[in-house]
Amino acid sequence: MPTVTLARHAMATRFELVLLGDDPVSLRAAGEEALDEIERLEAQLSLYRPTSEIAHLNAQAAVRPVRVEPGLFRLLQRAKRLSDETDGAFDITVGPLVRCWGFMGGTGQLPDADALAHARAVVGMDLVELDEADFTVRFAKPGMMLDLGALGKGYALERAAALLREAGVRNALLHGGTSTVCALGKPAEVDVWKVAVELPPQEGSLDQRPLPVAVVPLVNESLSVSAVWGKAFVADGRTYGHVIDPRLGEPVQRAVLAAVALPSATETDALSTALLTSGPEGLERITALRDGMRALVIAREELGGQLQAVAKGLTVSLVAGECGSRG
């Protein structure tokens, strides 16, 4: 079966589409349209583009209700529901905390106590007023900020996949960097797409190959991985990563990686973030939110610092520490 592979840089990562079908010309046309949609969404949702709809919303919504495009309004409604369902473990108002900890365009720093208290006071989806009658958004307090970084790539892939289906593409694999994969149908001559979840090489290890965690079979499903790798700093012997728990106002400490598989890429993106924030103790509660959700979370033990994995509906093959699975 002919295969067409297309890629484009957007949302600070590389999006790649692997499309299978009988007509390469039609596949390429459908793929380009899907990538155009991803670029359109970046222009709308980016926190870092001063001309984006989100930037305009952040600048004005504390002063007056701001009317937004209906698709964006529905996305904000979904984000609010997900925040409510996860008891705030996922929250797109977390931006002031990210900035306070120095991770918005920087590598991080310990915040001033007063600045941290102010940032915590303007975080919470209960402070975002959504008026469905007029598609308007208003912030209850000045200094608030929406940041769709924990949702945007998944939503972009979900929209791209919908356009591919409308164009008649039945079998494809889409991914945005290493965080979210969206699988349509299945690959040629195989029953499922198989996607590996891996840990980067551990510090001090002689073997610098990625550590295998799980292989996740996907058919018309998405998989998102949230992790603490990347921006971090050390202060007073403690490492602070860039993923902030919006409920506590500080970086996530125990969990290092979380993965979620579901049909919706928007939901896998958001719920993997919620699971990373909640840690192993939140696995049962998060997986109970959706029928058939498969998930895993890896965290450091409080004593000894070994990695421990727990999972629901997935077989874990972690080699760096103790492993466990449930269901």
**Which carries the bigger pLDDT value, residue 184 or residue 306?**
184
Residue 106: band (very low, low, confident or very high) from pLDDT cuts 50, 70, 90: confident
pLDDT of residue 232: 87
Cα–Cα distance for residue pair 326/28, rounded to 1 Å:
42
For residues 159 and 305, membership in a common domain is answered with yes
**Given a cut of 80, is residue 204 above it in pLDDT?**
no
Domain contains 325? no
In a domain, 261, yes or no: yes
| Any domain includes 319 | no
Same domain (yes/no): 100, 234: no
CATH code where residue 80 lies: 1.10.3980.10
CA distance 96 to 120: 8
**In a shared domain, residues 188 and 280:** yes
For position 206, what pLDDT does the model report?
A: 56
Asked if residue 46 belongs to a domain, the reply is no
115 and 257 assigned to the same domain: no
Clarify whether residues 212 and 250 are in a common domain. yes
Residues of the chain above pLDDT 70, percent = 94
Residue 13 in this model has a pLDDT that exceeds 50: yes
Please list, in sequence order, all residues whose beta carbon lies within 8 angstroms of the beta carbon of residue 305, skipping any fewer than 6 positions away.
none
State how many domains the chain has. 2
Supply the CATH number for residue 220's domain. Answer: 3.10.520.10
Q: Which residue has the tokens 């093959």?
A: 317
Instruction: Please tell me the predicted confidence (pLDDT) of residue 247.
Output: 97
Q: Is the pLDDT of residue 321 over 70?
A: no
Q: Residues 113, 165: one domain?
A: no
285 with 231, same domain: the answer is yes
Q: What pLDDT, on a 0 to 100 scale, did the predictor assign at position 318? A: 59
Is the domain of 163 the same as that of 127? no
Residue 319 pLDDT level (bands cut at 50, 70, 90): very low
Q: Do 126 and 160 lie in a common domain?
A: no
Q: Which domain holds residue 91?
A: 53-139
Q: Please, what is the average pLDDT of the chain? A: 93
| pLDDT band (50, 70, 90) for residue 322 | very low
Distance CA 249, CA 124 (A): 11
What does the pLDDT read at residue 22? 94
- What's the pLDDT band for 210 if we cut at 50, 70, 90? confident
Residue 61 within any structural domain of the chain: yes
Which among 288, 281, 294 has a CA at the least distance from the CA of 222?
Answer: 294
Instruction: For the beta carbon of residue 208, count every other beta carbon within 10 angstroms.
Output: 8
Q: What tens digit of pLDDT does each residue of 79-104 get?
A: 999 999 999 999 999 999 999 999 99
My answer on whether 179 and 90 are in the same domain is no
Q: Which pLDDT band, with edges at 50, 70 and 90, does 305 fall under?
A: confident
- Whether 317 shows a pLDDT value over 90: the answer reads no
On whether both 167 and 308 belong to a single domain, the answer is: yes
In a shared domain, residues 171 and 306: yes
Using the 3D structure, point to which of 104, 139, 174 is the last residue of a domain. 139
Q: How confident is the model at residue 303 (pLDDT cuts 50, 70, 90)?
A: low
Lookup result for tokens 């937004």: 68
Tell me if 239 is assigned to some domain: yes
Q: What confidence score (pLDDT) does residue 323 get?
A: 42
The pLDDT assigned to 208 comes to: 65
326 pLDDT band (50/70/90 cuts)? Answer: very low
Please give the pLDDT value at position 189: 85
Q: Is residue 112 part of a domain?
A: yes
47-80 in b/e form (b: 16+ CB < 10 A) is beeeebbbbebbeebbeebbebeeebbebbebbb
Mean pLDDT score, 256-260: 96
pLDDT at 110 over 90: yes
For tokens 């991985």, name the residue.
Answer: 225
What is the tens place of the pLDDT at every residue in 165-185? 999 999 999 999 879 999 999
Confidence of residue 297 (pLDDT cuts 50, 70, 90): very high
- Tens of pLDDT along 133-153? 999 999 999 999 999 999 999
- Please tell me which residue, 188 or 60, carries the higher pLDDT value: 60
Look at residue 317 and tell me if it is in a domain.
no
